[in-house]
Structure 1
Amino acid sequence: MANKIGFNRPYMTGRELEYIQQAHQNAHLAGDGPFTRQCSAWLEQHTGTRRALLTHSCTAALEMAALLLDIRPGDEVIMPSYTFVSTANAFVLRGGVPVFVDVRPDTLNLDERLVEAAITPRTKAIAPVHYAGVSCEMDELMAIASRYGLAVVEDAAQGSESSYRGRPLGTIGALGTLSFHETKNVISGEGGALLVNDDRLVERAEIIREKGTDRSRFYRGQVDKYTWQDVGSSYLPSELVAAFLWAQLQESGSITRARLQAWDRYHAACAPLEAQGLLRRPVVPSHCQHNAHMYYVLLDERIDRSRVLAAMKDAGIYGLFHYVPLHSSPAGRKYGRTAGDLAVTDSIASRLVRLPLWLGLTPEQQETVVQTLRDAIGAA
């Protein structure tokens, strides 16, 4: 189809292959080479985190967080059900129990007003997920965590270049995780990072990431040999991944600005549809700076989403739904539990449509997307 508009198209800045070639010339292709160090230093400088550790995925960073918190069988972790499986899986792998709490109807983030009622003597942590790069209400969540002695792990997979009251996402809780998957704003194909904000966790985080050894201390000359010190695994990305990421990080500001322009165009174009009561546009609180990770709409409950998506696909426009709520999944029912009613989660999960958004998407293509969405809603 000549006018086909795909949901995502990975963006290349133009220097990725050059840096990958440099990594080969450096004769260092395994993890923790020059490009890895540059990326880590960049993240530390731009976010203010105590230590940024590159990982091969955000999933790996979440698994490291579960290890760092010593999650044990029966420990409970409060989180939204409307999230990717990795948020829960990281803790389930340690025997933890995800406790699913409903989301706010405005931002679709964990509803901080419902968290306290979900806490039990077995609660160990809260794992807020910053949906669409828009921050959760972190002041309230951090206050609750402080009152009950809980750790906070920010799942900021979608949140690079976003902030809450001026603080970069992933740097507010004890630990934060980022994703550089090809569907994110800044990419390396696969990839992620663990942001360690608690000084007490830095050294152990390095050990866990290096298969449980003190190899990082050895390379810094702090010990004369490295040995097995703790539990851990191989969470390092290769230098090829880091080289690709370095090209992206150098352009992260311009990438974000371009995405925000595209997001704003969608927001303006969808305003008439919202005024007609056909859908609801995203809500971004004034104290949250988002990164235009995605543009979604919530269809009116009377509209059949499956018919809308099918009609858009027939027209060559690839919109997508998003998560199947974890509490309604087979594994979610087996390993987790719900706390209270999850009516908002169930409602948004059945109505949400994500529109194509990637660098290079033209204003004319965006007009086509919105017109196709309008026609599809009419047909549905």
Structure 2
Amino acid sequence: MAHPPPRHGTARKGRGATLDPPNRFAPTLSVAEDDGWWQDEAPASVATEVREERTRSALAWNTSPDLPFDRSINPYRGCEHGCIYCYARPSHAYWDLSPGLDFETRLIARTGLVERLREELCRPGYACRPINLAGNTDIYQPIEASLGTTRAVLELLLACRHPVTLVTKGALILRDLELLTALAERRLVRVMVSLTSLDADLKRTLEPRTASPAARLRVIRALSAAGVPVGTLVSPVIPGLTDHELECLLAAAADAGASTAGWMLLRLPHEVAPLFEAWLATHTPERAGKVMSLIRQCRSGKDYDPRFGHRMRGEGVFADLLEQRFRGACRRLGLNTPAAEAAMRLDTTAFRPPHAQGDLFA
């Protein structure tokens, strides 16, 4: 997909996107032009709007060889965390919304999700395998504090002894510590806490409404102390911007109690590429050229390579070096040992359909 040259956007407090580009399915395109007449200034802040969508199907299925799960649940569409690099931004185009500011300000909450999940778990022939909570947007983004959909899903999965995996950047996960502990006692849960940078100033513009780096390390520490299997996902690694922190991030996570780790290279599908370039031009113009050059070196000269087996890691000298550094750091820190990986394996044999459930903590 060809993109126009990167341009500065408008930085807004608490928001990642500096642009609100049209989605790729839009039949028409409007371009703002200065015609000399007075125009309203863009607002300094944009409020979050939440609308409801009745759930038709709870489980999303995939056959991707790049993913360690074949089913997932996403309680929300769009994500208020506002990570500028989020690979899920293009999904907002399916609702005729922009992957830019709309993605982080015009959210969709899926109602009736737990009821539909209950029905799907009761279907004849359902084969129990771990469900990944999230996969598209963060299950512990701010609106979860009031809506509680993620917690209700966890309660159902605990009641029917169904294994679940979670990935988050949110400290709100500690609200559900007692549920996660109960799941862990039955080998039904593992958690990956995503770390991108230890630089709090960088985090404030790169992923504005996520938990701070220090708060995420506290989450790892609390989960580990409670006996919940927890690892870290260093994602995304951004060449020329955050890659120098790789070893420090892994060391901080291991010190906090993480036993396993993974990493992913920055992905820029569809509208994410121009959004990210505009962010660079606005916030780190002195690095923009180097960052995009290194990304393209890892992506066969393009902004993005969607091929299975390549999209998560990239290829070439720089990508290979990242993999070597990651593996070396994990060896030194004792991450991803056979014992740690064994502790992360979940039990799929205890599942019982929800209609047969007893007391929640029985």
Q: TM-score, normalised by structure 2?
A: 0.26
Report the structure, 1 or 2, having the larger helix content: 1
Q: TM-score, normalised by structure 1?
A: 0.26
